[in-house]
Amino acid sequence: MDKKKILVVDDEEQILSLIEKKLKASNYDCVTASRAKEGIALAKSSQPNLILLDIALPDMDGYSLAKELKKDKGTREIPIIFLTGKDLEPRAINERIGETEACGYLMKPCSLKELLDKINATIG
């Protein structure tokens, strides 16, 4: 059985490295991007099973990136889970996430169990 591939888009190199290590140790393939434009290109070229997407990116916010991905027929079916370290009101996050058709969000830092539970609930 092929490993499921997850694209992680986050501008913090330490977060990318940590999540990548955790996902690979949990038998997932992982590709990473630190910019939105790079994330769009990787989503199109690598066709991941899931995208973990930071809300705060330097070149485009995660909500706008998710909307771009959902507009493209090649990436619109890829589930998205937002990651955020922002201290935002959960109601506001849920409202914005609903506009993007994402599957939910996790607050950073989250435990490996929380991350894997959310991934498994989303892509099995």
Q: Strands, E, within 43-123: which ranges? A: 50-54, 80-84, 105-107
Helix (H, G, I), strand (E, B) or coil at 26: coil
Q: pLDDT digit string (tens) for 18-32?
A: 999 999 999 999 999
Domains of the chain: 5-123 (3.40.50.2300)
Q: Phi first, then psi: give them for residue 121, nearest 5 degrees.
A: -70, -25
The predicted model gives 4-11 an average pLDDT of 96
The pLDDT, as a whole number, for residue 107 is: 86
- Min mean pLDDT across 12-21, 31-40, 80-89 is at 80-89
Task: Calculate the average pLDDT of the chain.
Answer: 90
Q: Are 77 and 123 in contact (CB under 8 A)?
A: no
Band (88; pLDDT cuts 50, 70, 90) = low
| Dist CA 28 CA 15 (whole Å) | 17
Does residue 90 carry a pLDDT above 80? Answer: no
- Amino acid 31 reads V
The predicted model gives 44-56 an average pLDDT of 95
The predicted model gives 97-121 an average pLDDT of 88
| Dist CA 9 CA 51 (whole Å) | 8
Q: Are 75 and 44 in contact (CB under 8 A)?
A: yes
Extract the tokens encoding 104. Answer: 């939910």
Extract the tokens encoding 35. Answer: 């910019």
Higher pLDDT, 87 or 15: 15
Please give the full DSSP string across 89-113, using - where no structure is assigned: -HHHHHHHHHHHT---EEESS--HH
